[in-house]
Amino acid sequence: MKPNRLLPILLFAIYSFAQTTEVASFDYQQLQPLLHQNSESVQVVNFWATWCAPCIKELPYFEELNKLEGVEVLLVSLDFPKHKQKRLIPFVEKHKLQSKVVHLDDENENYWINEISTTWSGALPATLIYSQNRRGFYEQSFTKSELFKEVKSYF
Amino acid sequence: MKIIFFAYSLLFLSTPTDLVNGDGYKIGDVAIDFSLPNVDGEMVSLADFEDAKGFILIFTCNTCPYSVAYEDRIIALDMAYKSKGYPVIAINPNDPAAIDGDDLADMKVRATEKGFSFPYLQDVGQQVYPQYGATKTPHVFVLQKEGKNNIVRYIGAIDDSSRKPNKVKKRYVEQAVDALLAGKSPSTTTTKAIGCSIKTL
């Protein structure tokens, strides 16, 4: 077989592999347990979207955090439901995101924004950090050093 | 002493967490007027609208998908309520130096494309949105005129389904303005919705 005949097969294989990326869509009731895990690790939950420029800028810092011992990162996408297949999943694949990614598809924002934090106005990006004895909510963008410093204060 | 006050106010304005933690207006507060450039080149103030009974003031922008998702609904609000005395006034709070696509020329293009029936103003120098306590786009403040004052009667979202217009169940702004027009207090005065952070350098 000539190499140029292999190429389509190879591309198809890559394509098939890429299509296996799955991102679960949750309503708030399904997401809620992930915001209240009784874990030894510090839990970092970042609310973001592929269209949110400041979110994308800080995403690599969360990916680095996720590699740390004793830290678990959850990336909660607020992309529009109609953009999940076209934008969110390709983004997760392109950037090879290692942190757990879920898509929050729940219209009742006026309910769950306050449930997540009464201090959250609803602006993105926003981040919840919690351990067994402390919870903090941050409606802001982080620099890498700010984020690491804040997370370390939970140990 | 003046210098100290000035320095303090600069410090205050430059601390984002203060804005986020609700140092803006609360229901019942008197909202400031402003004079900001509109996409048509004119300067616009609330005081220009002598016959208005109040305003649907919306901080919104060109670049936020949530704002874009609400454009048609904002036009519909203006169409429904301008004639009843509550015109829409849109203000873009983003610093155009902090994000591509939100300067006055871009705003003019968008206003023309969509046929905005309302003023679309630029918050030049970002002096207005921090006083209102807007944190995101879109962010609505319904104001009611009382004499020369504009009183804040509602703060929050346009409705309860930003991402799916066909799933709207509660039209918060309409309910608030309808109540005010009927001489009543709005039953829901504050709501929350997801939006884009206001862009600053």
Distance CA B102, CA B124 (A): 11
Q: A124 at the B interface (CB within 8 A)?
A: yes
Peptide bond into A125 cis (omega under 30): yes
**How far is residue B176 from each of residues A78, B153, B179, measured CA to CA in Å?**
27, 8, 5
Question: Which residues in chain B are closer than 8 Å to A123, comparing Cβ atoms?
Answer: 20, 135-136, 194-198
DSSP A101-136: EEEE--S-HHHHHHHH-TT--SEESEEEEE-SS-EE
What are the tens digits of pLDDT across the range B164-188? 888 899 999 999 999 999 999 999 9
pLDDT averaged per 10 residues in sequence order, chain A, 155 residues = 61 58 94 96 97 95 96 97 94 95 94 96 97 95 96 95
Beta bridge partners of A100: A74
Q: Is B164 on the interface with A (CB under 8 A)?
A: yes
Q: What is the ipTM of this complex?
A: 0.82
Residue A111 CB neighbours (<10 A)? 14
Whole-number pLDDT of residue A44? 98
C-alpha atoms less than 13 angstroms from C-alpha of B109 in its C-beta half-sphere: 8
Cβ contact (<8 Å) for B157 and A109?
yes
HEC string of B50-80?
Answer: CCCCEEEEEECCCCCHHHHHHHHHHHHHHHH
Chain B environment of A139 (Cβ under 8 Å): 20, 135, 197
- Residue type for position B63: T
Q: For chain B, what percent of residues have pLDDT higher than 90?
A: 84
Put simply, the answer to whether B164 touches A81 (Cβ < 8 Å) is yes
Q: Please tell me the predicted confidence (pLDDT) of residue B19.
A: 40
* Rounded mean pLDDT, B112-130: 97
Rounded to the nearest angstrom, the gap between the alpha carbon of residue B72 and the centroid of all alpha carbons in its chain is: 16
pLDDT at residue number B165: 86
Contact B193 A113 (CB under 8 A): yes
Q: Which residues pair with B55 in a beta bridge?
A: B143
Most A-contacting residue of B17, B19, B20 (CB-CB within 10 A), to test interface: B20
Q: Which two three-digit tokens encode residue A102?
A: 């879920």
Is the separation of the CB atoms in B46 and B144 below 8 Å?
no
| Residue A22 distance to chain B (closest CA, Å) | 21
Contact B161 A51 (CB under 8 A): no
